[in-house]
Structure 1
Amino acid sequence: MITAFILLSIFFTVFSAPDFSQTLPATVNQGEWHLLHASIGISAMHMQLLWNNKVVIFDRTDFGPSNLSLPPHLCRHDPRDHALQTDCTAHSLLYCVDTNTFRPLKVQTDTWCSSGSVLPNGTLTQTGGFNDGDHVLRMFTPCDDYSCDWVEFPGYLSQRRWYASNQILPDGRIIIVGGRRQFNYEFYPRSSRGSNLYTLDFLRETRDAHENNLYPFLHLLPDGNLFIFANTRSISLDYKRNRVVQEFPPITGGEPRNYPSSGSSVMLPINETQAIEAEVLVCGGAPPGAVSQALRGNFVSASLTCGRLKVTDENPNWVMEEMPVARVMGDMLLLPTGDVIIINGARLGAAGWEYGRSPVTNPVIYLPFGDVNRRFLVMSGSIRPRMYHSSAVLLPDGRILVGGSNPHVYYNFTNVLYPTDLSLEAYSPPYTSPAFSSLRPHILSLDENLLYGQSFSIVFNVCEYTNDRVLSANIVAPSFTTHTVAMNQRMVVLRVESVMQEVGNTYRLSVVGPSTPEIAPPGYYMLFVVHSGIPSHGSWVKIH
């Protein structure tokens, strides 16, 4: 019998939703944790999955040596570094998902609390940081051998970008928004005409008493405007004309959600099989004054609430729900099924050095279109606290790669409440269970280059085909994840034209590519065929 988790996930289908009047089983598979490496030598503060199944992972450079050595000829010499002017240890690495191996990379300037996006050609473009890295733009272009490494462009950014957020745009540019004491935005690549810097008073207005509204949540809307959420307020920005199109109601309850309150946000999947809607989900955070209280040794409860805002409504208003457990510093990721996982973080305190307490080691899966009283499912927990400076990304096989946690100024492994964590592990959600192997589709072939609005074919097989009503084709843009912000994350449910049985258990899907670059900006996506709530392994496609 299909579990409650699987049945509720069926809402992400390309045809009419199935009947849920039947009684659902009371128990749900809670997924599994697997340790990949006890130590990768660095703490995974930032992560980005690339189209060749490699993950770029990096920390910061100004805290002293890491536990991963560089080849001698790659030692970093930086007279401006606050901790170590000559450093022969790595602060970045490249992890290979397919082989579970990694190699060190050389980053030359400080990447602490920086941001990033992947260009349409697959190059990771990474922006800002601290100290000598705050105006730097860095690029990492994937390769099939060991030749690729970071290439840096000092002084490229017009302003200091520390705790800024990035979003890939329909024209392939990247917008870089905010940062500490930065009430403006700019673009990569720079404009060839006029200024590349634009003032945004909204960022000045939404800062708290300590000038914090850092790592604002950004979501590209289907109309091409940019949704920006900072602390409790949000707007739709026409970045082409530098004007606010709409200001939305403040989130109910008045709890700030951005760093250091550090909730998280996703835009729920855009479904091309129906009228286009855009709905933003914001979960967790910490109440006003949480940092000040933590400095005095009083760790207040994190936020228990999630808010949903259907931005495309004529009169949008927040609809609030409660999570099973309060959470700050939680990472929120879209799963291939269209459900949302909330992972990592703490019950008490806020983001920052030593400001968090009471780790939340159990992920929660949120079913956006499930019964309103049964949308949150508590999953099995890890034995490792993932506190400040942890991160997580979705992998093509549907697992969640999890690493990091270093709530200290330097690496500290002893005599502290939450030691620096250099491990890398993976959480396997319930849909990965072998119990569902007969329902799991396997993609045999597909067109890897997709054109906007053009039909393409996906050939897959599945042992136990149910019916067309529980079949969908979903594309997912991988996130740049750091500090509970999954930048550029996006899912689109594509329109299926037909399903035809070919031979035996083999089927051919005729699917229409995303309609516009505003729906899905150009670049690389993971494509999943989802059948009865069970996703295939993701196949990489490139949208032009």
Structure 2
Amino acid sequence: MLTNIIKLFFFSLSFFIFISPISPQFLPPNYGHQGEWTLLHESTGIVAMHMQLLHNNKVVIYDRTDFGRSNLSLPGGLCRYDSGEQALTYDCTAHSILYDTTNNGFRPLMVQTDVWCSSGSVIPNGTLVQTGGFNDGDHVVRTFSPCLDHENCDWLEFPEYLLRRRWYGTNHILPDGSIIIVGGRREYSYEFYPRNPQAPFLLRFLIETTDYAENNLYPFVHLLPDGNLFLFANTRSILLDYKQNRVVREFPEITGGDPRNYPSTGSSVLLPLDENNNGSNVEAEIMVCGGAPKDSYGRALRQDFVRAVSSCGRLKVSHVNPNWEMEPMPTPRVMSDMLILPTGDVIIVNGGESGTAGWNNARDPVTRPIIYRPSVHESSLRFSVMSPAFRPRLYHSSAILLPDGRVLIGGSNPQIYYNFTNVLYPTDLSLEAFSPPYLSVEYTALRPRIMHVDQTVRHRQSFRVKFIVLNFLSGNVVSVRIIAPSFTTHSFAMNQRMVVMNKLGVSRVGPAVYNVDVVAPSTAEIAPPGYYLLFLVHAEIPSPGVWLKIE
């Protein structure tokens, strides 16, 4: 019997390695308890300033068109012409790539208008909608739809689609599948994609939170289970009913009074929404970490680099009288990314210990990620420090979660142009991946593999996930959750959310094979329609993710 179980497990394991999003040749042999780093590419030719994972396991990456020549040529003699370009009138190099997570390859993409400091969301059909940018790109909407390899899909651009200039704005997908576009430099309004004929809508909150350094760009925006939006800018936050253009309530100012938005760049996540045993009252909690003191930007311009903020704040926005609960990080951080891992933990990666965002405005890179476990009762035990990265990641770096549970990291461009020599922090064109401790080979026997799941479900629909695991401990330590892949730039992962689905039960159906029955998210406010990565977690060890579409 034991021999048959082992044979079945390794047969299934080989099957799932075959269909796994990541080839094993790119994984280090041992990940260790502090995680492991893998250099994927010394150079992709461009800076990974903006990144979005698509449901065909490819990643759209881009920087800006007014950098000058990148280190990657466009194919077939293509060139971009722009008579008003600040760097080059003719540019025959790429400023966007499509990275393939299955084979570690990439190809250049053609973007015509400047996408610098723009934003994006993936709509329900899987198309990336990217909005705004700089100069000739600030009113542009661009789309990128996943395609088969031989189709060579590329960007489509729609000039003057936006009603207002959107540079340093934030996007978020909404329950009806549309996108809200909030703020931007000297823009104090929001609008929608597709266009709303009544937009744009003035938002005085963005005027009130602007100071001499602005400090409210790329505002943190999260969709809450009640359908309203949580907005955080500078030190303040509100609950916005975007349908009525009405501020429902204002929350207490974050403790300490230090700015948390660009250029005092911190980061934020909506902690996992859990539909187990909560009925219709799903608790929503926001976490904000890092940032820079009020006068940091001005002092950095004078080459005086102030120590970054070292605190995180958690706010239970669904409570009647919420207040910020603060706790210290192991190190101060500015310009760090926060991503939700399949376990529900939060990784904080990239950034520096002093200064702010902006050209050469930061010092003391932080190369060690930290993992935060929000479910741990004792606050002093929630943070764990990971192994150091190969290189610093400061201004214009980014990070996203990959289907196999690794974190893809790239970028860092503290210089105005591509600059690789005679500077303190050169432009970095590399890509690397961080493997959290749960990917260690010592957890192989606990790691589940999903054998079958429906590709499409509807809200409130019950469905079954069939999985295999060699050392099954208990149905009590099994959970199924979905993660919406983020559009990440400038230390904020837009649209990111995790939903832990309501578990009905776990049953054994064969040697090392089990079923778990779950209920899809109850509402579009909890999980907007679209593509999600579904992970099955057993004893805090996640499976590789599979794609699930919620309609």
TM-score range, shorter chain: over 0.9
Q: 1:441 corresponds to which residue?
A: 448
Q: 2:272 corresponds to which residue?
A: 269
C-alpha separation in 2, matches of 1:361 and 1:469: 36
Question: Contact conserved, 1:72 with 1:88, CA < 8 A, in 2?
Answer: no
C-alpha separation in 1, matches of 2:305 and 2:386: 25
C-alpha separation in 2, matches of 1:297 and 1:373: 34
> Of residues 166, 171, 177 in structure 1, which corresponds to 2:171?
166
Q: 2:259 corresponds to which residue?
A: 256
> Of residues 23, 39, 44 in structure 2, which corresponds to 1:40?
44
Q: 1:18 corresponds to which residue?
A: none
Alpha-carbon displacement from aligned partner over 1:214-247 (angstroms, at most 9, x marks no partner): 0000000000000000010000100000000110
Verify: 1:454 aligned to 2:461, yes or no: yes
Alpha-carbon displacement from aligned partner over 1:309-335 (angstroms, at most 9, x marks no partner): 000011010000000000000000000
Q: 1:200 corresponds to which residue?
A: 203
> Of residues 326, 348, 351 in structure 2, which corresponds to 1:345?
351
Please state whether the residue corresponding to 1:347 is helix, strand or coil: strand
Task: Report the TM-score when normalising by structure 2.
Answer: 0.93
Aligned partner letter, 2:509: E
Q: 1:5 corresponds to which residue?
A: none
C-alpha separation in 2, matches of 1:382 and 1:510: 39
Shift of 1:84: 0.5
> Of residues 108, 125, 134 in structure 2, which corresponds to 1:130?
134
Please state whether the residue corresponding to 2:528 is helix, strand or coil: coil
C-alpha separation in 1, matches of 2:169 and 2:342: 27
Show structure 2 runs of 5+ residues with no match. 1-31
> Of residues 479, 502, 506 in structure 2, which corresponds to 1:499?
506
Shift of 1:428: 0.2
Shift of 1:372: 1.3
Question: Contact conserved, 2:98 with 2:107, CA < 8 A, in 1?
Answer: yes
Verify: 1:236 aligned to 2:242, yes or no: no
Q: 2:329 corresponds to which residue?
A: 323
Q: 1:6 corresponds to which residue?
A: none
Alpha-carbon displacement from aligned partner over 1:265-291 (angstroms, at most 9, x marks no partner): 000000000321000000000000101
Question: Contact conserved, 1:180 with 1:212, CA < 8 A, in 2?
Answer: no
Aligned identity (percent) is 65
Higher helix share: 2
Q: 1:190 corresponds to which residue?
A: 195
Q: 2:55 corresponds to which residue?
A: 51
> Of residues 156, 168, 189 in structure 2, which corresponds to 1:151?
156
Q: 1:21 corresponds to which residue?
A: none
C-alpha separation in 2, matches of 1:178 and 1:408: 25
Verify: 1:481 aligned to 2:484, yes or no: no
Alpha-carbon displacement from aligned partner over 1:414-464 (angstroms, at most 9, x marks no partner): 011111100000000000011000000000000110110010111000000
C-alpha separation in 2, matches of 1:381 and 1:173: 39
Please state whether the residue corresponding to 1:466 is helix, strand or coil: coil
Count of aligned pairs: 515
Question: Contact conserved, 2:172 with 2:180, CA < 8 A, in 1?
Answer: yes
Shift of 1:73: 4.0
C-alpha separation in 2, matches of 1:258 and 1:150: 29
C-alpha separation in 2, matches of 1:96 and 1:357: 33
Between 1:486-495 and 1:144-153, the stretch displaced more is: 144-153
Question: Contact conserved, 2:213 with 2:298, CA < 8 A, in 1?
Answer: no
Q: 1:99 corresponds to which residue?
A: 103
Shift of 1:211: 3.2
Aligned partner letter, 1:243: R
Verify: 1:68 aligned to 2:67, yes or no: no
C-alpha separation in 2, matches of 1:221 and 1:435: 38
Verify: 1:361 aligned to 2:364, yes or no: no
> Of residues 291, 314, 333 in structure 2, which corresponds to 1:285?
291
Q: Residues 212, 372 of structure 1: CA spacing in aligned structure 2 closer, same or farther, 3 A cutoff?
A: closer
Question: Contact conserved, 1:304 with 1:326, CA < 8 A, in 2?
Answer: yes
Please state whether the residue corresponding to 1:190 is helix, strand or coil: coil
C-alpha separation in 1, matches of 2:248 and 2:356: 32
Shift of 1:498: 1.4
C-alpha separation in 2, matches of 1:147 and 1:39: 22
Shift of 1:115: 0.2
Q: 2:89 corresponds to which residue?
A: 85
Please state whether the residue corresponding to 1:438 is helix, strand or coil: helix
Shift of 1:212: 3.6
C-alpha separation in 1, matches of 2:248 and 2:179: 20
**Backbone CA RMSD of aligned residues:** 0.8
Please state whether the residue corresponding to 2:381 is helix, strand or coil: coil
Runs of 4+ in structure 1 off by over 3 angstroms are none
Please state whether the residue corresponding to 1:437 is helix, strand or coil: helix
C-alpha separation in 2, matches of 1:356 and 1:285: 12
Shift of 1:337: 0.3
Verify: 1:210 aligned to 2:213, yes or no: yes
C-alpha separation in 1, matches of 2:76 and 2:148: 23
C-alpha separation in 2, matches of 1:152 and 1:429: 37
Q: 1:17 corresponds to which residue?
A: none
Alpha-carbon displacement from aligned partner over 1:64-94 (angstroms, at most 9, x marks no partner): 0000000244211111111111110000000
Alpha-carbon displacement from aligned partner over 1:161-209 (angstroms, at most 9, x marks no partner): 0000000000000000000011100000012xx4221000000000112
